[in-house]
Amino acid sequence: MTDESINITSVEEVLTANDAALTEEEIYEKSKFSLETENLCVSFHGREAISDINSKFRKHSITAIIGPSGCGKSTFLRALNFMHDLTPGALVSGSIKIHGKDISEYDMTDVRRRVGMVFQKPNPFPTMSIYENVSAGLTLYKRHKRKELDEIVERALVHAGLWEETKDRLKVSAMALSGGQQQRLCIARTLAINPEIILFDEPTSALDPISTSRIEETLHTLKKDYTIIIVTHNMQQASRLSDYTSFFFLGKLIEHGKTRTIFTSPKNTLTEEYIIGKFG
């Protein structure tokens, strides 16, 4: 199986196959994915928002999710770490697998710690300092030694590209940071809990070009340790940043493949029309 062939049909082939009947090569192939969804559907008050999403996300890669507004990108992303749990009227069906194991076999908080999420609008905890914000996911989970915390906080801030700007004022309120800094703080906060997969829902849509490029750099360096899924409306961003691209339309996954392929020779005419800007 080559990379090019990761599209809906190949996903179905692998997933419907009985695990016991897999060849060694196929098992190896499977182990390369950290996250898979199978017939994932989400409906709100009986109205379907996304339906039958079959997708796989490769380890150490960036996957961009693109599609017109309202097509269900956020809904899909939020389903991956149980965020619909709080939404009244939301119903999720199908299955999600982390490292080939269904998430029902994990604990809910455990899934959320493995699958981190950074939201569209920066949302630091307003009553906490920069340091407390980054360490919140750790200290509120279990006790940590001060020294250990200091190290993790520093590493997370360095990783998120915020250390230089904040190392002298870690005790200052998080609200004293600029929007772009706050977003990087939220990234650091997510990195601190050391997830395996990080979901980004339009993380740069509210930011200026400089902050955006810094965050893109950050994502690029994060790739070697994490599986990254990013929703974006910015085609340039998708093409320069991602290895794979999924195109969503009206709640369906229309096409998934290598970013280069999707942007140069998409199979589906809808994908092509969306990418060249005919609609959306």
Partner 1 sequence: MTDYYSKIRDNSSRRKFKSRLMLTLCILAAMLAILPLVYIFFYTTIQGASSLNLAFFTELPKPVGETGGGMANAIVGTLILVGLGSVFGVPVGILAGIYVTEYSKNFFANVVKFVTDVLSGIPSIIIGIFAYGLIVIPMQRFSAYAGGFALGLLMIPTVTRISEEMLKLVPHTIREAALALGIPRWKTTLRIVLRTASGGIVTGILLAVARAAGETAPLLFTSFGNSFWSSTLDSPMASIPVQIFNYAISPYDEWHGKAWAGAFVLISLVFIVSLLVRIATRNKYSQN
Ligand X SMILES: Nc1ncnc2c1ncn2[C@@H]1O[C@H](COP(=O)(O)OP(=O)(O)OP(=O)(O)O)[C@@H](O)[C@H]1O
Residue closer to ligand X by CB (options 71, 187) is: 71
Question: What is d(CA 114, CA 168) in angstroms, rounded to the nearest whole number?
Answer: 30
Q: Minimum distance from CB of 103 to partner 1 (Å)?
A: 13
Q: Minimum distance from CB of 245 to partner 1 (Å)?
A: 24
Q: Minimum distance from CB of 256 to partner 1 (Å)?
A: 24
Q: What residues are paired with 246 via a beta bridge?
A: 65, 256
Q: Which residues bind ligand X (CB under 6 A)?
A: 44, 49, 67, 69-75, 87
State the binding partner of 72 from ligand X, partner 1, Mg ion, none, CB within 5 to 8 A by kind: ligand X
Question: What is d(CA 71, CA 29) in angstroms, rounded to the nearest whole number?
Answer: 30
Backbone angles phi, psi at 252, to 5 degrees: -120, 150
Q: Which residues bind partner 1 (CB under 8 A)?
A: 81-83, 85-86, 88, 109-113, 116-117, 119, 121, 123-129, 136-137, 140-141, 173-175, 186, 189-190, 193
For residue 97, the surrounding DSSP H or E stretch is strand 90-98
Residue closer to partner 1 by CB (options 119, 247) is: 119
Residue whose structure tokens are 């999720």: 92
Token output for 152 = 């993790």
Based on the shown chain and the rule CB under 5 A, indicate whether residue 74 belongs to the binding site for Mg ion.
yes
Residue whose structure tokens are 């340091």: 131
| 219 neighbors 228 (Cβ within 8 angstroms) | yes
Q: Minimum distance from CB of 118 to Mg ion (Å)?
A: 13
Q: Which residues here bind Mg ion, judged by CB under 5 A?
A: 74
